[in-house]
Amino acid sequence: MRIRIALTLKILGLLCLAVGIGILSLGLWPFHTLPNAVTWLDGCTGLRFGPNGTAISSGLIRPPGPGPELGAGVEFWLQPRRIWDSGTFLAFYAPEHSFCLLLRQSQTDLEIQTWRTGPGGGAPAKLYVSDVFWHEFEMSRSYWSAVLNNIVGFIPFGCCFFAWLSALRLRRAALVTVLLGTAVSVTIEILQAYRPVRDSGTTDIITNMLGTWLGLAIYRLARPLVSGRFPWFSVVVSGLSSPTGD
């Protein structure tokens, strides 16, 4: 029996490790650079940006073919994928003047940020235009699909880690499991902020935490069925029924 219990604990630990690595990998995927979906508009001077597009120039961006050099304007039609996200969608930098200009989504607001780099540059100046993105936001099918994926993706985390920590007779295993799930979610969101192909938002943290809690709740409900089928398993996870497993 002791050998079986020790083996089960090792299996639970390895399963937790596999689930953690899997969640981190899915949260940061893809690990390669996506094609730059930027093309010139046909018949006029303009750029069309696809799902993943970046245009960077150290000088003037000239359209293909000959033509007079005229003034130009910049027009954006944007719809945020998620309303509570923040991110930069346009940035200008003039190194000869040490000047930066950023246009950002700050949740529902448009944020215009400017500052000068180098000595004496000072703090950035920020201007907010309220509720620019709120009117464009819709509870679309893709939004609810992302919410559902974030919840379901962390259910295995809550289930496996709660079983493992309870089997180790750790005090407040449920609370520790939720805190671990939240910590993993926050880590993913911080790393996603530095990846242009991924979106980072506070909504993900809330839904991931909910998924972790659902996972441990499902395990609590399923444990009597598993223990009835495999009596030795009840000995391994006996901490679930003791005060240390709450």
> Tens digit of pLDDT for each residue in 140-190?
677 788 889 999 999 999 999 999 998 888 889 999 999 999 999 999 988
Q: What is the pLDDT of residues 18-52, one digit of tens each?
A: 999 999 998 888 777 778 888 888 877 777 877 77
Buried-state track 160-198, b at ≥16 Cβ within 10 A, e below 16: bbbbbbbbeebeebbeebbebbbebbeebbeebeeeeee
Structure tokens at 94: 């003039």
163/199: higher pLDDT: 163
Between the two ends of the chain, the Cα-to-Cα distance in Å is 25
Predicted structure pTM score: 0.62
Q: Each residue of 65-107: pLDDT tens digit?
A: 666 656 666 777 777 666 667 778 888 887 777 788 888 888 8
Q: Which candidate, 178, 157, 185, 189, places its Cα nearest to that of 82?
A: 189
Residue 167 CB contacts under 8 Å (≥ 6 apart), including other chains: 8, 9, 12, 236, 237, 239
In this prediction, residue 20 carries a pLDDT of 95
Average pLDDT of 221-245? 62
Could you give the C-alpha distances from 79 to 51, 134, 146, 168, in angstroms and in order? 12, 9, 16, 48
d(CA 132, CA 191): 27
Give the pLDDT band of residue 244 (cuts 50, 70, 90).
Answer: very low
108 vs 18 pLDDT, higher one: 18
